[in-house]
Structure 1
Amino acid sequence: MASSEGLRKRRKTESKAEVIGSDSGSSHNKDPVDWWDEFCRRVNGNLSPTKVLDSFKSVFRVSRKTFGYLCSLVKEDLISKPGKFMFKDGTVLSLCDQVAVSLRRLGSGESLGIIGDAFGLNHSSVAQITWRFVEAMEKRALHHLRWPDNDSNMDMIKSKFEKLSGLPNCCGAIDVTHILMNLRASDPTNELCCDHGKNHSIVLQAIVDSDMRFLDIVTGWPGKMNESLIFQNSSFYRLCREGKRLNGKLGEYIIGDSSYPLLPFLITPYEGGDLSEPRAEFNKRHQEVALVAQMALKRLKDNWGIIHGVMWRPDRHKLPRIIFVCCLLHNITLELEDVVLGELPMSNSNHDPGYRQQVCRVSDPEGVSLRDKLTLELSAGFRA
């Protein structure tokens, strides 16, 4: 969730969104409609009839309003760096062109070759343009992914989770997903990324709010690491242990599945098949919250194809930064395009096919006590 300062910045840039910043290269003060029409003519000329560009959102994974906001966000960085990129016909890429190429690369997951051939660009230009965009987003969009910075924002999250599941004081849901890679088997260092499913992967751990926005992420750990260990090495875990995140006096916590330890600030479900009615009811409510994180990760991978499927020999040092920017884009589209949880299907939330849930047997007595207290409260409310 963005901070109040970040939201003020966003409102200012939203007012400029329809005047997309295209005053670099050969495009000065060009109307966005004219830019899109010209872009389509140029690109469609390089595509077969079955692959002609369709709607704006199907190509870039964002609305025109969001596209305009992204252009204004990265404008200063993309036009201030030396060097100009040109299409094969000699036309200099405008700011809009650079953002368009980057979003197409991140959204489709198509290879540099396919995008370069379709857009009339050298393959190396696609890579350089996309990386410049990633660096600019890291710098300019950080306010779109941060832990709530005031009680009012957190109270809103807790209220929405309680309305969804009946669980009070829930501040988020945590889950992980694997980003798959096709790496050289001949390189012994790649064995570090070989996970339990015999794939090369790195892990993305995400904590989401009641609207599926990412509040905290950790990525870059090899796929073989279990969820519990990744969590316990995160800054979120350390801050909670130090009392600097989640208010223990208010009984604040996040929800996680059985692969996580049961802690005073992380509540997991009851294990076992023969549960009492109150415990079964608690697990049902718990799953309703956990599903929000699953849906967020599914939406992330579906919208940003570069991290969906198997990445072809990526730079392992750059990949975590690309994942981070995809998470920023996920949050921005939720904020600017007014997508709400109730409008999305609650099924088909499997974001990590082929991976089985691990089980962590660690439980803190204070976590056990809080879970039992929540179960009793839900049971009393259910009987009433």
Structure 2
Amino acid sequence: MSRETFAELKSALEPFWITLRREYSMDQALHITLWKLSNSRVTYRELSDKFDVSKGTVHKIFLKTINAIFGCLDGTHFKINTPKKDAISYCDRKGNYSIIMQGICDSTFRFLDVFIGYPGSCHDANVWKNSPIYKGITSGEIQLAKDAIILTDSAYPLSKYLIAPYRDNGHLLREEKQFNYYLSSTRVFIEQAFGI
């Protein structure tokens, strides 16, 4: 990564840095995180030795920095009374009548986008492809930050701005399982935002 790209990344993250602990610098956190992302086999012990930070702190730095970089996307269901018309469309996979709310949040639990109203039987990927934010991104009307990534679960399609976990067919490599673990532990922000 060039110095200019590093400076751009640092500048883009500065508004979110207040959510991170101040016992380490933003530069140090970015260096640790970028090293880990570009060297998937490196252990936290090795990072600890390389950057002269305790193993536990390296792990916290990595997760908190990742959380500041990405937005998270998911859908949640709101129960409704049985509709008088087309009730079957509103029956979700749990047998409840519901409507779907799709949300994107950042690492401070702040919603960046909300889209609501599709019937509970719709798949999350269909809701995404019919949402105004998807249409805006794909048409060019909405510009995401440079190299922005939105984290999702496996219900969503992989694209240049959506990252989903590897589908677990029982034959995942260790690196793929590790990737899924980090993605899941970062994407939890959207679940927590819905809970709040």
When normalised by structure 2's length, the TM-score is 0.63
> What's the CA shift for 1:274?
3.1
Following superposition, the deviation at residue 165 of structure 1 comes to: 5.3
SS at match of 1:188: coil
Whole-angstrom distance in 1 between the partners of 2:186 and 2:67: 11
Please name the residue that 2:153 is paired with.
257
**Residues 281 and 156 (structure 1 numbering): CA distance in 2 closer, same or farther, change over 3 Å?**
farther
What fraction of aligned residue pairs are identical, expressed as a percent?
30
**Cα 1:155–1:205, aligned 2, differ >3 Å: closer, same or farther?**
farther
Partner of 1:269: 165
In the aligned structure 1, how far is the partner of 2:100 from the partner of 2:156? 15
Matched letter for residue 156 of structure 1: P
1:122-181 deviation digits (Å, cap 9, x = unpaired): xxxxxxxxxxxxxxxxxxxxxxxxxxxxx9676534896964355488330011111011
Matches within 5 A, 1:137-148: none
- Residues 13 and 68 in structure 2, CA contact (< 8 A), matched pair in contact too: no
Q: Which residue of 2 aligns with 1:223?
A: 120
Q: Secondary structure at the match of 1:252?
A: coil
Helix, strand or coil: the match of 2:80?
strand
Q: Which residue of 2 aligns with 1:195?
A: 92
Q: Aligned letter for 1:208?
A: C
Q: 1:198 to 1:177 in 2, by over 3 A?
A: same
Residue matched to 2:48: none
Give yes or no for contact 2:68–2:106 (8 Å, CA) kept in 1. no
Q: Structure 1: which amino acid aligns with 2:144?
A: L
Q: Distance in 2 between matches of 1:275 and 1:165?
A: 26
Residues 171 and 254, structure 1, Cα contact 8 Å, conserved in 2: yes
Q: Residues 329-363 of structure 1, C-alpha deviation per residue, up to 9 Å, x if partnerless? A: xxxxxxxxxxxxxxxxxxxxxxxxxxxxxxxxxxx
Cα distance in 1 for residues equivalent to 2:156 and 2:115: 15
The correspondence for 1:183, drawn from 82, 85, 92, is 82
Q: 2:143 aligns with which of 245, 248, 270?
A: 245
Alignment coverage as a number of residue pairs: 145
Task: Flag the 1:252–1:245 CA change in 2: closer, same or farther, 3 A.
Answer: same
Q: For the residues of structure 1 that align with 2:183 and 2:116, how far apart are their CA atoms?
A: 25
Aligned: 1:287 with 2:152:
no
- 2:27 is matched with which residue? none
Shift of 1:255: 0.1
With over 3 angstroms needed to count, the CA separation of the structure-2 counterparts of 1:174 and 1:194, relative to structure 1, is same
Using a 3 Å threshold, how does the CA distance of structure 1 residues 158 and 263 change in structure 2: closer, same or farther? farther
Residue 284 (structure 1) shift: 1.4
Structure 1 position 214 matched with structure 2 position 127:
no
Contact 2:72 2:104 in 1 (8 A): yes
Deviation readout 1:88-133 (Å, 9 max, x if unpaired): xxxxxxxxxxxxxxxxxxxxxxxxxxxxxxxxxxxxxxxxxxxxxx
Matched, 1:172 2:71: yes
- CA shift, 1:234, in A, is 1.1
Residues 228, 260 of structure 1: 8 Å contact kept: yes
Q: Any gaps of 5 or more consecutive residues in structure 1?
A: 1-150, 300-384
Indicate the structure with greater strand content.
Answer: 2
Aligned partner of residue 73 in structure 2, secondary structure: strand
Q: Check conservation: 1:178, 1:202, Cα contact below 8 A.
A: yes
TM-score (norm 1): 0.34
Q: Which residue matches 1:43?
A: none
**SS class of match (2:180):** helix
Distance 1:231 1:270 in 2: 19
Amino acid at match of 2:73: I
**Measured at CA, do residues 274 and 156 of structure 1 come closer, stay the same or move farther in structure 2, by a change above 3 Å?**
farther
Aligned to 2:130: 233
Task: Deviation per CA, 1:23-63: give whole Å up to 9, x if none.
Answer: xxxxxxxxxxxxxxxxxxxxxxxxxxxxxxxxxxxxxxxxx
Alignment partner, residue 7 of structure 2: none
Deviations 1:224-276 (A, max 9, x none): 111001001112112222343324xx421110000000010010011123322
Structure 2 CA distance for aligned equivalents of residues 257 and 296 of structure 1: 15
Cα distance in 2, alignment partners of residues 262 and 226 from structure 1: 15
